[in-house]
Amino acid sequence: MPQTSPRECALDVLQAPTGPSKGFVETALHTQLAAGAFSPADRALITELVYGATRRRLTLDWVIERTSDRPIEKLDPALRLILHVALYQVLFMDKVPDYAAVNEAVEAAKRRLHAGAAKFANAVLRTVLRTKARLPWPTPDQDLVEHLAVVHSHPRWLVRRWLDHFGPDTTAEICKADNLPPAITLRVNRLKLSRDELIQRLASESVEAEAVGGDEAAVRVRTPGPLDTLQTFARGEFYIQDVTAMSVARLLDPRPGERVLDLCAAPGGKTTHCAELMDDTGRVVACDLDEKRLGLLAANVARLGLTCVEPARCDARHLPELLPAASFDRVLLDAPCSNTGVLRRRAEARWRVKENDIGPLSERQGELLDAAALMLKPGAVLVYSTCSIEPEENARAVRAFLSRHGEFALEGETALLPDAAGADGGYMARLTRQG
């Protein structure tokens, strides 16, 4: 059987999340790349097409609406994706010839749909090629929300929120940062080797990497390609994790021999970091409600060679019914959230989350905080974190918690916004139970 072309593979990935499984594009991409013998260059192209077309969905739909005679909602979903992939190449990729993008899109429409779809795709794409230099992009003076939403491909409701919270300049910077490729960073397993040793071993596997600031265990990968096929990965010598996420366990500061509770723990990045900081002594109870994700956590724990982690399937809101109260030295609550701080990393998250999700998420976060509070000994530490940049999920949630729990004091908090240097956005607060 002939090898699937990179653009065909990208279309297969993009169609997968629209099927019955309703999965994540990252999962579908990993599955497709693992199934094909693609060159490094083809893997890079597939990855950019998938993530680029997903992130830029609103922009691409806007262009289609202005170069065709059909409402976007009336288009066949498969045809819409074919146009997205082609238009992303035409509008955002300099190294791909326009004719190649158009020809492959037309052929894909023939194979996957019918001759009429191919004719329509050809007409739209040829129109874009003729008119792309004079497309009537909305300007900031005309409508700032529409300008930021269309040019940077963000939901309009989210742009409005950010303009209210952060102002126009910061909102524009966030939107720009969200469309940049995420940095690939690793956390060295300090129980197995040093950071310098990991960099040397990665080099022996043809992976270029370098030490980065922000965390003494952080390594940035410069060479694109699969990391989970490396011997260094199989030996548990690193965990793939953003530097912002690494700072959460550092803030918790778990000590060897302590009892630590990690709520909403899967797939285990912060759990395993805690265990490493504890020299794999004491006990880390890692709770999660999702059985499949808890299986991923257990696999990561085993790969890293850790023994002090105890996975537990449970709804963290019902912890008092499952675990003895006031029995932990430290509790980490990395709460389920809107993910608005990591939109460049979770490509489809900007389209999944809705404006009316923020309130229910904030309520759930409050319930989880209340349950976590019951698990701490006097003098113990609670760290609350999210990968959101929404005030209701962050500082306001912590202030509401403190108003309900006078026995807790806020030691400090940090709010981070996504930036062009590659850092993710998020929030973390450290609280102490008094007396």
The sign of the dihedral angle between the CA atoms of 243, 245, 248, 249 is negative
Strands annotated E in 150-226? 185-188, 209-211, 218-221
- The DSSP 8-state label assigned to residue 235 in this structure reads T
Residues 6+ apart with CB under 8 A from 97: none
Q: In this structure, what token pair is assigned to residue 324? A: 């003895």
- The DSSP 8-state label assigned to residue 319 in this structure reads G
Residues 6+ apart with CB under 8 A from 140: 147, 148, 168
Q: In this structure, what token pair is assigned to residue 229? A: 């096929």
How many CA atoms are closer than 13 Å to the CA of 134, on its beta-carbon side? 3
Question: What gap in Å lies between CA 224 and CA 220, rounded to an integer?
Answer: 11
Beta carbons of 381 and 340 less than 8 angstroms apart: no
Question: What gap in Å lies between CA 417 and CA 177, rounded to an integer?
Answer: 9
Beta carbons of 308 and 259 less than 8 angstroms apart: no
Question: What gap in Å lies between CA 360 and CA 350, rounded to an integer?
Answer: 17
Beta carbons of 197 and 283 less than 8 angstroms apart: no
Question: What gap in Å lies between CA 387 and CA 341, rounded to an integer?
Answer: 5
Residues annotated as part of the active site: 387
String of DSSP letters for 47-82: HHHHHHHHHTHHHHHHHHHHHSSS-GGGS-HHHHHH
Q: Residue 427 — φ and ψ, nearest 5°?
A: -145, 145
Q: What is residue 1's three-state secondary structure? A: coil
Helices (H), 290-388: 291-303, 349-352, 358-373
85, amino acid identity: V
- The DSSP 8-state label assigned to residue 198 in this structure reads H
Question: What gap in Å lies between CA 376 and CA 326, rounded to an integer?
Answer: 4
Nearest to 124 by CA among 93, 82, 152, 92: 82
Q: In this structure, what token pair is assigned to residue 148? A: 């930021």
Give the residue carrying structure tokens 């973390």.
428
